[in-house]
């Protein structure tokens, strides 16, 4: 039955020859329906009032105008396509010169008070009074109210910028129960036949379902995926580059006197991105994005690096006789030597001059201990720089890779 009506609708313009109708005949039909029969638009259009009016519904999405993540609102343009049978609006075409189809203003007939239930701003009926409905001689009415819809849509930002958002559009015949008006799904659910692509969001899939709680409502779901390139180029890539610069603080010699300034600059740049990202994200604490966590981790590293740098600057003004190099720094120095594999190289097997003078007799023990000891604080600083540089490079690469993979893979699912 639904299929048949749909086919009739599609054919209506060609099949029912509107152009063969004369104005006088159409006027006669209108007079019969609205004057002679005394049509009352307050009556539910079914003669047996214990039966529901069956209204198949389809949503045609024209475009996604805007998705406001911060306010969690989706603005779309589209129209509903609804049809039903009004038993009080039927006529016999052969009595009226073959008139089969007429147009009447939507406010002149009974129609369900369909509204967008999860509306973000206004709560109004669909369509406007200037729209017409198409009326077939057997009483079938085709109504396709166009509307710019603003719906609420809760945002899940976890996988930003690879996130997929799922937004519902719930339409309900507000005053009616399912027993009065049966709003149900037409054959198509959401149709994308008139869809114009959006430059920020791709529609991945759509679905629709009826709500079976006695409420007369249908639910259309649009799943959309962010196009990530803009955010990768403008936010993600700069942050990753800054994180690498962070580690390179330890390449700059302490003696240059610019190291503290450099590390603070990197810290401030990261802080700027923290602000930018915060302004892009919805102000909710329900879910945190992996990228925010990454950015926060990098800012924490940066803070650590600033602190370590300041400590190193302080160490750099120490002198040997006054402040001897204690065990802790000796261990760091040895560790650094070990990692640099200095012991494997023959050219390093030169006994430091100063030690030779002090212990000229211990020639045999010398290769075990003596050249493993730092000669001055400068050596200690070099080894600390070496260790910290590689530590931060490796940790940054690991954390970056892990976060990006997590966001990417999570977003794909
Ligand atoms: C109206 O419909 C109900 C439910 O199908 C049926 O029981 C009843 O007999 C019908 N009434 C009339 C007047 O046809
Ligand atoms: C609408 O449908 C979606 C997907 O099937 C579902 O997750 C959501 O809960 C439904 N919304 C309502 C109001 O039933």
- List the domain boundaries for the chain: 2-8+34-227, 230-352+371-412
Mean pLDDT per block of 10 residues along the chain (413 residues) reads: 55 60 90 92 93 94 92 93 94 91 93 91 82 93 93 91 93 91 88 93 93 89 94 93 93 90 95 89 81 93 95 88 85 87 55 48 47 79 93 96 91 70
Structure confidence at residue 279 (pLDDT): 86
Closest by CA to 135, choosing from 9, 44, 20, 237, is: 9
Structure confidence at residue 360 (pLDDT): 45
Residue to mutate, 50, 53, 180, ligand 1, most ligand atoms under 8 Å from C-beta? 50
Structure confidence at residue 222 (pLDDT): 95
Structure confidence at residue 361 (pLDDT): 46
| Secondary structure of 168-211 in HEC code, one letter for each residue | EEEEEEEEEECCCEEEEEEEEEEECCCCCCCCCEEEEEEEEEEC
The answer to whether residues 20 and 149 touch, using CB atoms and an 8 Å cutoff, is no
Compute the distance from residue 367 Cα to the ligand 2 centre, in Å.
75
Query: How far apart are alpha carbons 12 and 381 in whole angstroms?
Result: 87
Q: Three-class SS of residue 44?
A: coil
Give the ligand at the shortest distance from the Cα of 219: 2
Global model pTM greater than 0.85: no
Superfamily of 2-8+34-227 according to CATH: Neurotransmitter-gated ion-channel ligand-binding domain (2.70.170.10)
Structure confidence at residue 15 (pLDDT): 57
Structure confidence at residue 286 (pLDDT): 79
Which atom number of ligand 1 is nearest to the Cα of residue 48?
1
Give the ligand at the shortest distance from the Cα of 51: 1
The answer to whether residues 180 and 216 touch, using CB atoms and an 8 Å cutoff, is yes
The whole-angstrom distance between residue 370's C-alpha and the CA centroid of its chain comes to: 61
Cβ of 50 below 6 Å from ligand 1:
yes
Give the ligand at the shortest distance from the Cα of 152: 2
Dig out the tokens for 321 from the structure. 């006789």
Structure confidence at residue 189 (pLDDT): 86
Contacts of 398 (CB under 8 A, 6+ apart): none
The answer to whether residues 141 and 86 touch, using CB atoms and an 8 Å cutoff, is yes
Cβ of 47 below 6 Å from ligand 1:
no
String of DSSP letters for 259-310: HHHHHHHHHHHHHHHHHHHHHHS-S-SS---HHHHHHHHHHHHHHHHHHHHH
């Amino acid at each position: 039955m639904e299929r048949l009506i749909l086919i009739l609708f599609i054919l209506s313009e060609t099949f029912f020859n509107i152009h063969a109708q004369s104005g006088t005949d159409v006027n006669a039909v209108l007079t019969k329906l609205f004057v002679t029969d005394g049509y009352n638009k307050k009556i539910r259009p079914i003669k047996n009032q214990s039966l529901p009016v069956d209204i198949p519904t389809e949503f045609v999405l024209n475009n996604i105008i805007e998705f406001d993540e911060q306010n969690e609102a989706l603005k779309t343009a589209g129209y509903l396509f609804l049809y039903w049978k009004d038993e009080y609006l039927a006529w016999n075409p052969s009595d009226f010169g073959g008139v089969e189809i007429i147009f009447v203003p939507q406010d002149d007939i009974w129609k369900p008070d369909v509204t967008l239930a999860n509306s973000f701003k206004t709560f109004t009926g669909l369509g406007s009074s200037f729209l017409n409905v198409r009326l077939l001689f057997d009483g079938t009415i085709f109504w396709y109210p166009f509307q710019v819809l603003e719906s609420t849509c809760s945002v899940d930002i976890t996988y930003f910028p690879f996130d997929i958002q799922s937004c519902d559009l719930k339409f309900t015949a507000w005053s009616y129960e399912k027993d009065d008006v049966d709003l149900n799904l037409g054959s198509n659910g959401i149709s994308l036949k008139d869809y114009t692509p959006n430059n920020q969001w791709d529609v991945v899939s759509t679905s629709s379902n009826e709500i079976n709680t006695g409420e007369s409502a249908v639910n259309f779901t649009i799943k959309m995926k962010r196009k990530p390139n803009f955010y990768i180029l403008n936010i993600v890539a700069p942050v990753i580059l800054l994180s690498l610069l962070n580690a390179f603080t330890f390449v700059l010699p302490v003696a240059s006197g610019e190291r503290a300034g450099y590390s603070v600059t990197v810290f401030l740049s990261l802080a700027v991105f923290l602000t930018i990202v915060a302004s892009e994200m919805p102000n909710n604490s329900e879910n945190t994005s992996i990228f925010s966590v990454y950015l926060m981790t990098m800012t924490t590293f940066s803070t650590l690096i600033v602190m370590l740098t300041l400590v190193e600057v302080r160490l750099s003004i120490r002198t040997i006789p006054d402040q001897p190099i204690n065990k802790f720094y000796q261990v760091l120095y040895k560790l650094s030597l070990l990692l640099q594999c200095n012991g494997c190289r023959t050219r390093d097997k030169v006994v430091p001059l100063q030690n030779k003078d002090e212990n000229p007799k211990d020639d045999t023990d010398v290769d075990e201990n003596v050249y493993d000891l730092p000669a001055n604080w400068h050596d200690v600083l070099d080894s600390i720089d070496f260790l910290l540089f590689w530590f931060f490079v490796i940790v940054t690469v690991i954390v970056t890779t892990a976060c990006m993979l997590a966001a990417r893979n999570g977003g794909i699912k």
